[in-house]
């Protein structure tokens, strides 16, 4: 029978009958980054708007934040966390405030203007003379026709007005959502939770009235879906798309825009929904009474008449359905509609941070798939048109992918099929695309007539 013995130095000296050696501490210094939770701020009376310092969050983490507003009781403050999106802003108690820091007040609210020449990084490429063929008009993710100085002032004014969230929660039948941003709801709804109907999007602050409205609506046998015409689905995942005319259903569309503003920071809200069509994406299910129901997952809107050929004005995926490919699915549907209209389209700029990610992922995947199947018979513009894409968006995407080259004064796509296959294989989550088999939409009559 074998005995397992420890091979440590202490055990070896014990077997040999020797006294244990004295353990010496190493002289090598170890650098550790530790965050010591300091005591709450002693002089709470000195807190005012613009105070910047360390704040302890609910998860005990420490973040640098700036005080944006104090409530009437002065027992809590509304803070913005520096270097974080405004969706993370929140009310915290005065006990959460720690020591002040040297970050200048207002640093978190400075509006960056990437189009300003002073903020552009210097590089050899930027020092070259601008070539109109290399700068697509109206294309890409950052194009803007607004003077940077004017845009800066407008952004500062908007930021000041919408700094504090004014709705506590959004409640559907199965979901409770925390709003991300301020929205222009009537003042009597401020600082309260809003109960939304799943199908009519009517809202109230009373849970009793919300339940009563839902019961009456189900008893009326009205369709439990958006009030529009189905133009896609149900597909294999029970996804449907409904076209709602802003002129025919103004109340529904206005409530939809108000709901979207709670989760979109830079949405320009207009209560005149008549010039727009709204496309609502839903998930089909069966209710407890055996009747078909549709849960709203997100929507996108488009102008009926767009001089700049925009095929999408606003897009939103509700938070409970995010990270499921819903955003790219709606983008794919917007281009499928453009193909049926025999047009090319592009989203209205500027895009939100999440919108940029979704569009860049979609454009990259579609551009690579077009090049993968390219046989050399079509030009790049004609190739993009087969998917309803604007050629400027495809060019900006190919430049982002490093596939554009300048040859004899012209822009050409230079890519090996192995490189294209490698880039496609590197996409861990391909965008969710619509299935053309389930399209059942006919373009409406030309509104410009």
List, for residues 408-425, the tens digit of each pLDDT value: 877 778 888 888 999 999
Sole residue written with tokens 């720690």: 98
What is the rounded CA–CA span in Å between residue 256 and residue 240? 17
Are residues 314 and 222 both part of a single domain? yes
DSSP notation for 340-397: HTT--BEEPSSPPHHHHHHHHHHHHHHHHHHHHT--SSS-HHHHHHTTTB-HHHHHHH
Catalytic residue among 348, 382, 392, 436: 348
pTM of the model: 0.76
* Dist. CA 442–CA 360, nearest whole Å: 28
Distance from C-alpha of 329 to C-alpha of 283, rounded to nearest angstrom: 13
Whether residue 256 sits in one domain with residue 402: yes
* CA triple 307-313-317, angle to 5 deg: 165
pLDDT digits (tens, 9 = 90+) for 375-393: 776 788 888 899 999 989 9
Return the pLDDT at 84.
Answer: 86
Residue that is last in its domain, among 104, 126, 148: 104
Tell me if the bond preceding 446 is cis, omega within 30° of 0: no
Domain termination residue (choose one: 65, 87, 104): 104
**224-232 average pLDDT score:** 96
Q: In terms of domains, do 318 and 216 share one?
A: yes
pLDDT band at 178 (very low <50, low <70, confident <90, very high): very high
Domain that holds residue 89: 49-104
* Domain edge (last residue) among 57, 85, 104: 104
- The total of structural domains in the chain comes to 2
Whether 66 is catalytic = no
Do 97 and 205 reside in the same domain of the chain? Answer: no
Q: Do 82 and 216 lie in a common domain?
A: no
Task: Confirm if 364 and 401 have CB atoms less than 8 A apart.
Answer: yes
- Same-domain status, 302 and 204: yes
Q: Residue 204: inside a domain, yes or no?
A: yes
Q: Is residue 18 part of a domain?
A: no
For residues 176 and 71, membership in a common domain is answered with no
Residues 40-94: tens digit of each pLDDT? 665 666 788 888 989 988 888 888 999 988 887 778 888 899 888 888 888 888 8
pLDDT in tens, 26-36: 333 434 334 45
Cβ(184)–Cβ(258) under 8 Å? Answer: yes
pLDDT in tens, 200-225: 999 999 999 999 999 999 999 999 99
Determine how many CB atoms are found less than 10 A away from the CB of residue 337. Answer: 26
End-to-end CA distance of the chain: 98
pLDDT averaged over every residue in the chain: 80
217 class by beta-carbon count within 10 Å (0-12 exposed, 13-18 middle, 19+ buried)? middle
Q: What is the dihedral of CA 40, 42, 44, 46, to 10 degrees?
A: -130
Claim to verify: residue 268 and residue 386 sit in the same structural domain: yes
Is 29 a domain residue?
no
From the list 198, 264, 186, 265, the residue with the least C-alpha distance to 226 is 198
CATH number at residue 412: 3.40.630.30
113-151 tens-digit pLDDT: 444 444 444 443 344 344 444 433 334 443 445 566 676
């Amino acid at each position: 029978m074998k005995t397992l013995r420890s091979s440590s130095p202490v055990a070896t000296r014990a077997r040999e009958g020797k006294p244990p050696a004295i353990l010496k501490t190493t002289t090598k210094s170890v650098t550790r980054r530790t965050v010591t939770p300091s005591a709450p701020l002693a002089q709470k009376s000195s807190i005012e708007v613009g105070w910047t310092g360390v704040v302890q969050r609910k998860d005990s983490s420490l973040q640098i934040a700036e005080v944006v507003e104090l409530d009437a009781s002065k027992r809590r403050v509304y803070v913005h966390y520096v270097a974080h999106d405004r969706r993370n802003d929140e009310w915290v108690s005065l006990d959460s405030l720690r020591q002040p820091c040297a970050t200048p007040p207002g640093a978190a609210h400075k509006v960056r203007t990437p189009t300003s020449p002073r903020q552009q990084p210097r590089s050899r490429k930027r020092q070259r003379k601008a070539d109109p063929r290399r700068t697509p008009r109206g294309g890409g993710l950052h194009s803007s026709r607004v003077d940077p100085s004017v845009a800066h002032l407008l952004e500062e004014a908007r930021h000041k007005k919408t700094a504090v969230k004014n709705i506590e929660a959004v409640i559907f039948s199965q979901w409770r959502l925390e709003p991300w941003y301020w929205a222009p709801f009537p003042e009597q709804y401020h600082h309260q939770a809003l109960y939304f109907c799943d199908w009519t999007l009517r809202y109230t602050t009373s849970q009793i009235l919300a339940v009563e409205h839902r019961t009456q609506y189900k008893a009326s046998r009205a369709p439990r879906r958006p009030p529009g015409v189905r133009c896609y689905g149900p597909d294999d995942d029970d996804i449907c798309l409904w076209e709602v005319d802003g002129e025919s259903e103004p109340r529904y569309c206005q409530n939809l825009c108000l709901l979207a503003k709670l989760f979109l920071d830079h949405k320009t809200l207009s209560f005149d929904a008549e010039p727009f069509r709204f496309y609502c994406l839903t998930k089909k299910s069966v209710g407890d009474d055996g009747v078909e129901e549709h849960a709203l997952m997100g929507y996108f809107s488009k102008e009926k008449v767009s001089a700049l050929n925009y095929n999408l004005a606003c897009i939103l995926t509700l938070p409970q359905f995010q990270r499921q490919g819903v955003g790219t699915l709606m983008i794919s549907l917007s281009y499928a509609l453009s193909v049926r209209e025999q047009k090319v389209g592009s989203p209205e700029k500027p895009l939100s941070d999440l919108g940029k990610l979704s569009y860049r992922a979609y454009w990259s995947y579609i551009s690579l798939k077009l090049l993968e199947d390219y046989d050399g018979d079509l030009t790049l513009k004609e190739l993009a048109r087969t998917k309803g894409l604007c050629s400027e968006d495809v060019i900006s995407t190919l430049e982002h992918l490093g596939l554009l080259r300048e040859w004899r004064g012209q822009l050409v796509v230079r890519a090996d099929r192995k490189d294209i296959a490698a880039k496609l294989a590197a996409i861990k989550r391909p965008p969710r695309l619509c299935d053309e088999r389930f399209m059942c939409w006919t373009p409406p009559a030309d509104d410009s007539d």
